Amino acid sequence: MAISDDKPSTSSHSRDFNARSEDIPAISVNDEDYSSYLTLVASLSGDSSDDEDLNQAIIASLENQIAEKVPVQEILLELSSKISTKQQCKFNINRSPVWEGALRGFQRLSYDPNLMICVKFSDDMGKNEEGVDLGGPRREFLRLLMDTIARSAMFEGKENCKNLALDSTALRGDWYYISGRAIAVSLVHGGPPPNFLSPTVFSLLVGNSANPALEDIADLELFEKVKKISQSTTLEDLEKSKEPLLDYLANAGCLRPMRSLRDRDLLVHDIVMFQVIHRVQGPFQRFCEGLKTLGVLEKIRRHPDSFRPLFCYEPHMLTADQVDDLFNIHLSPEGSNRRAAEEMVVTFWRDYLQDAEEEGPSKLQKILAFATGATAVPPVGFSPAPSIEFIHRGDDDFSSTPIFPLANTCVNYIRLPLHVSYQLFKEKFDFALGNTYGFGRV
């Protein structure tokens, strides 16, 4: 299989950092848009022959279309509909060095982002865990991969608000491109969003200007030196505070004489811009090239308001009601003995979710991961929808009713045992969560 043609050549290293006109996505006009345009022209031509009025009306109409915030799930479902499920690209992953396995998978000559990902995990002893990936292993792999990328040396800064860093190892291995590709693949293939980039990086991604603050400098030693410059109150203090940074300023192109205190703020601004943006222009370009995979970057630039919450952290806590609403509960026919026992356990399930919410958000995330392999709802949604089923005596060749809940992350369901007391239900579910390795198997 040939390498996917969306991987760019290394010549992209030489491209200018500032967005050019050819980087701005063109507005596509379909038949419906063109019909609306002709209708608009016809309505205006009868009332006024003023070209300026016509142009203003057309511009206003296009601006309204662009400004409309399209649900991001709708956008991602459109992209994911093009993924072929008839062929697969295999990833062999160990949970500890997730990045190494991801690199091997993405760099394989046969890898094609348009094909379904099939993930096979191995434990520390190298034994295969499950041979078929129908969703759960893939979601867990992509979740672990996003966490690994966020903590990697390719990014720096505060947690959940990171800028690109300059790392020579990542440059040699073209990891910035691969991390951008991994994020695009995660969004389209049902994984989590990155959710850790700073507003500065996102502004640059969509082609806007950025104005990073002094606090965006992650190097603490450099931060303190630049802060001292910013706090200078006399020209003498300014020159003195500048001395420890003379070599840095020369390399950054910021070394110049200070003639007045007005030069202080401009110097600080230039240092911040160099450290946070211009210094990492090469990595940024490769990161963008990776994000072009599956057409994701084009959609980001066309719908920035829709994608911003996926890239820039926004506090969002799972609630018991949200988790409960995610699951379709499959009950036996009304009036049957089975139905009565199941309805009792449904109350236990909902009480368990409420208790988990009071314990903290991580408990609800564990419950969701137990059933789906994901700690949050993927932007593209779950397929199939999560469900609750029940284990009756004699089901599936069980000689007696199992005491622990069972989960299958491939089809996103939990099977609940029919306990007669909430305390026993809670104890067994807690044990299952605490002793589940991987993505929801006990």
Judged against a pLDDT cut of 60, whether residue 60 lies above it is answered with no
C-alpha distance across the termini of the chain, in Å: 38
- Mean pLDDT calculated for residue range 193-216: 95
Which of 150-154, 255-259, 276-280 bottoms out in mean pLDDT, i.e. has the lowest? 255-259
CA nearest neighbour of 317 among 357, 361, 284? 361
- Cα 411 from Cα 211, distance rounded (Å): 45
Structure tokens at 229: 């410059």
- Residues 39 and 63 occupy one common structural domain: yes
- Residues 140 and 250 occupy one common structural domain: no
- Cα 299 from Cα 226, distance rounded (Å): 37
- Mean pLDDT calculated for residue range 409-419: 90
Contact 23, 130 (CB under 8 A): no
Q: How confident is the model at residue 95 (pLDDT cuts 50, 70, 90)?
A: confident
- Residues 133 and 146 occupy one common structural domain: yes
- Residues 52 and 169 occupy one common structural domain: no
Residue 410: Cβ within 10 Å count: 20
- Mean pLDDT calculated for residue range 305-330: 93
- Residues 171 and 303 occupy one common structural domain: yes
Query: How many separate domains does the chain show?
Result: 4
Judged against a pLDDT cut of 60, whether residue 33 lies above it is answered with no
Q: What's residue 8's pLDDT?
A: 42
What is this structure's pTM? 0.77
5 within a domain of the structure (yes/no)? no
Name the strand (E) or helix (H) holding 223: helix 220-230
Residue 116 sits in a domain whose CATH number is 3.90.1750.10
- Residues 341 and 398 occupy one common structural domain: yes
Judged against a pLDDT cut of 60, whether residue 188 lies above it is answered with yes
Residue 148: Cβ within 10 Å count: 16
Q: What's residue 223's pLDDT?
A: 97
- Residues 91 and 189 occupy one common structural domain: yes
95 within a domain of the structure (yes/no)? yes
Task: Say which residue, 21 or 183, is predicted with more confidence.
Answer: 183
441 within a domain of the structure (yes/no)? no
426 within a domain of the structure (yes/no)? yes
- Mean pLDDT calculated for residue range 166-180: 97
Judged against a pLDDT cut of 60, whether residue 330 lies above it is answered with yes
400 within a domain of the structure (yes/no)? yes
Q: What's residue 400's pLDDT?
A: 57
- Residues 91 and 204 occupy one common structural domain: yes
What amino acid is encoded at 181 in this protein? R
2 within a domain of the structure (yes/no)? no
- Cα 304 from Cα 306, distance rounded (Å): 5
- Mean pLDDT calculated for residue range 52-71: 56
Task: Say which residue, 423 or 399, is predicted with more confidence.
Answer: 423
Spatial CB neighbours of 216, under 8 Å, sequence gap ≥ 6: 157, 163, 198, 200, 272, 276
Task: Say which residue, 375 or 396, is predicted with more confidence.
Answer: 375
6 within a domain of the structure (yes/no)? no
- Cα 51 from Cα 57, distance rounded (Å): 10
- Residues 184 and 290 occupy one common structural domain: yes
The DSSP result for 112-146, as a single string, is -TTEEEEEEEE-TT--B--S--SSHHHHHHHHHHH
| Residue range(s) defining the domain that contains residue 355 | 320-434
Bridge-based pairing of strands 115-122 and 84-94 is parallel
Q: What's residue 316's pLDDT?
A: 81
- Mean pLDDT calculated for residue range 74-82: 95
Starting at the edge strand that comes first in sequence, how are the strands of the sheet with 387-391 ordered?
328-329, 387-391, 413-417, 406-408
Contact 138, 414 (CB under 8 A): no
Residue 326 sits in a domain whose CATH number is 3.30.2410.10
Q: What's residue 48's pLDDT?
A: 46
Judged against a pLDDT cut of 60, whether residue 43 lies above it is answered with no
Please write the tens of the pLDDT for every residue from 13-30: 333 333 333 443 443 444
- Residues 147 and 187 occupy one common structural domain: yes
- Residues 262 and 338 occupy one common structural domain: no
252 within a domain of the structure (yes/no)? yes
When the pLDDT of each residue in the chain is averaged and rounded to a whole number, the result is: 83
Name the strand (E) or helix (H) holding 350: helix 337-359
Which of 190-199, 224-233, 392-401 bottoms out in mean pLDDT, i.e. has the lowest? 392-401
CA nearest neighbour of 188 among 247, 115, 132, 124? 115
Q: What's residue 234's pLDDT?
A: 93
Please write the tens of the pLDDT for every residue from 102-111: 999 999 999 9
- Residues 341 and 400 occupy one common structural domain: yes
Q: What's residue 360's pLDDT?
A: 84
Decide: helix, strand or coil at residue 441: strand
Please write the tens of the pLDDT for every residue from 263-279: 999 999 999 999 999 99
Q: What's residue 130's pLDDT?
A: 45
Task: Say which residue, 24 or 176, is predicted with more confidence.
Answer: 176
Contact 373, 349 (CB under 8 A): no
